[in-house]
Each structure stands twice: as structure tokens, then as C-alpha cells.
Amino acid sequence: MLRLCSLLVLLALMPSAGAAAALEGHARVIDGDTLEIEGVRVRLFGIDAPERNQTCGERDLLWSCGEWATERLELLLGGGQVRCTGAERDRYGRLLATCEVDGQDVGARMVRSGAALAYRRYSMRYVGEEGRAQAEGTGVWSGPMQRPEDYRHSPPAPPPPGECAIKGNVSKNGRIYHLPGQADYDRTVISGPEERWFCSAREAESAGFRPARR
């Protein structure tokens, strides 16, 4: 009976064509522009944050801007009640919504703090906030940065020939290498300038990478 009631609530929250849906509750952050409330994935409308494994900065001064953007969203939500309103879904089934915490627009605060960009392809709503963050060199604007949309469309680096299948990844946790068969191997993408393929664990460790824990 409890499961049936929960299903009915979720169905009531899901929008029909053209109808606005409102979600409210505690949110789980997925990345810098995606969260989940009561099992419903929400994509913050009008902003585009760096991907979780994306790095920013110059070759010798790279930092994990994708992880930072995720942490920034978690900080802004603060574990409190989040209210999201939207009427459409994207191709992944996520509700496209504007979300508020304590009456403040979460998307606007993410862009203003330099943790996300105005997603001009879909909305010009946050262009002003982006302009101010860029002028002040805040967040991702503190140095060289690839726009998240361009980063997503960049082809992953192909593996070298032979048996060089060890993935060296750079994230907030440091420089880590993943062996085939490990838990995070398949979802690890070699893309940043400091990330590379290795032929042996010894080679990876000589380059300053440590083994993944799982």
C-alpha cells in the first residue's frame, strides 16, 4: 500500500505535455547541474556546469573544476528543502527545472559563483550573472577553461596500440590509475591533458599515479 501511494505521488508530480510540475524535498546532488528529489532526476535549466571528471586551468596548474562545481552545488543546497518547477524533460528523462532554496534561484547562484555557465543554447536568463563572474575571474573564469558542452563533444583519447589499457585519471582525489576489471574502469574517460594510458602499473606509478582502491 505504501509503495502504491508513493507511486501515485510521483505520477502526480510528473508533468503532462505543457503542464508545470513542482517538486519539493531534500535533494541528492549528482553533479554541478543535476540533482535528484524523491527519485526524480532534475536538470537545472539554463545553466551548464563542468562535467565531474573535467579539469580547468593550465597544463601545470590543473584543478578539478567538475568536482568543485558538484561540491559547490551541495554547499548551496545545504541539505535543506529544495523546490523545483519545470514543464519539460530532456532526452535523458530529467525534469528541466528552475530550483530555489530559501527563495533564492540556485542556477543564478551557481553561475554567479563561477561554478557553472549560462547555457545560451536554451536560455539567456543567467547571462548577466555569467558576465559578472567572468569579469571578476571567479571560479572557472580564474584561468583557461573549456566550455562543458565542448568538453562533452570532445572525442575521448583512443587507447594506444598493444596492451596499454591502464587508465591514468586526474581528479580531486589525485592522480589515480585504473586497471581493466576494476569498479570504476569502464566509466573512467581519458580526456584531460594530464590523463593518459599506461602499459603497466610500474609505468603509471613512475608518472606519479597511484592505484585505485577498488
Q: Domain spans of the chain?
A: 23-152, 155-211
Taking only the tens place, the pLDDT of each residue in 161-171 is 677 889 998 88
- Give the H/E segment covering residue 30: strand 21-31
**101: alpha, beta or left? (left if phi > 0; alpha if psi -120 to 50):** beta
Mean pLDDT of 19-24: 85
Q: Is the pLDDT of residue 2 over 80?
A: no
Contacts of 91 (CB under 8 A, 6+ apart): none
Taking only the tens place, the pLDDT of each residue in 27-73 is 999 999 999 999 999 999 999 999 988 889 886 688 899 999 999 99
Q: Is the pLDDT of residue 9 over 50?
A: no
Mean pLDDT of 197-210: 91
Mean pLDDT of 14-20: 56
Catalytic residue, from 72, 83, 94, 109: name it. Answer: 94
Other Cβ atoms within 10 Å of 135 Cβ, number: 9
Place of cell 551541495: 74
Annotation marks residue 43 as catalytic = yes
Mean pLDDT of 169-186: 86
| Paired sense of beta strands 174-178 and 166-171, if any | antiparallel
Catalytic residue, from 43, 52, 83, 112: name it. Answer: 43
Which three-class secondary structure string do you get for 152-176? Answer: HHCCCCCCCCCCCCEEEEEECCEEE
Mean pLDDT of the chain: 87
What pLDDT sits at residue 120? 96
Spatial separation of the C-alpha atoms in residues 204 and 214, rounded to whole Å: 16
CA-based nearest residue to 46, from 134, 133, 122: 122
Annotation marks residue 196 as catalytic = no
CATH class in words for 23-152 = mainly beta
Spatial separation of the C-alpha atoms in residues 7 and 23, rounded to whole Å: 14
Catalytic residue, from 51, 129, 130, 195: name it. Answer: 51
Contact between 52 and 70 under an 8 Å Cβ cutoff? The reply is: yes
pLDDT band per the 50, 70, 90 thresholds, residue 7 = very low
pLDDT band per the 50, 70, 90 thresholds, residue 13 = very low
CA-based nearest residue to 53, from 138, 180, 146, 181: 146
Annotation marks residue 51 as catalytic = yes
pLDDT band per the 50, 70, 90 thresholds, residue 156 = low
Classify each residue of 159-197 as buried b or exposed e, where b means 16 or more C-beta atoms within 10 Å of its C-beta: eeeeeeebbbbbbeeebbbbeeebeebeebebbbeebbb
Mean pLDDT of 186-214: 86
